[in-house]
Amino acid sequence: MSKRDVFEYAVLRVVPRVERGECFNAGVLVYCRAKSFVAARTLLDERKLRALDPRADVVGVQAALRAVEGVCCGGEAAGQAAGDDAGRRFRWLIAPRSTVVQPGVVHSGLTADPEAELERLLDLLVR
């Protein structure tokens, strides 16, 4: 059996009208300290977004989701977080915020392959 490491994950939710609190899942954020791995995969369902807010800024929401993916990648795409390690970038991304794209509660598990876990969680929780 392959060595399994602890990982943490949070669902990325889209909350088109924060004052109403209605949301839907649009991505997953995964962090594995043992592998210095942090990544996000997103998938925006525009139909759900328009159902909750017909005037929603689809382009803006897509940009916010891409920004989360960029912070995970590090480098120039991470902006001010570019020099931070994977753990600091993950902690920054899971901090509570009152914006259209919000992280959910952090959960944990064991995995031998964080990248595969990310895809599995995206299939399970978003697609």
Q: Are 89 and 81 in contact (CB under 8 A)?
A: yes
Average pLDDT over residues 49-73: 95
Percentage of residues in the chain with pLDDT exceeding 90?
83
Percentage of residues in the chain with pLDDT exceeding 70?
99
Ranges of each domain in the chain = 5-125
Average pLDDT over residues 96-105: 92
- pLDDT above 80 (res 2): no
- pLDDT above 80 (res 109): yes
* Long-range contacts, 113-116 (Cβ 8 Å, 24+): 113/2, 114/5, 114/7, 114/30, 114/31, 114/32, 114/35, 114/37, 114/39, 115/37, 115/39
The pLDDT of residue 1 is 61
- Averaged confidence pLDDT in the chain: 94
Average pLDDT over residues 83-108: 93
Lowest mean pLDDT, pick from 10-14, 59-63, 80-84: 80-84
The pLDDT of residue 16 is 94
Whole-prediction pTM: 0.92
Sign of CA dihedral 117, 12, 82, 90: negative
Q: Are 3 and 85 in contact (CB under 8 A)?
A: no
Q: Are 100 and 106 in contact (CB under 8 A)?
A: no
The pLDDT of residue 34 is 97
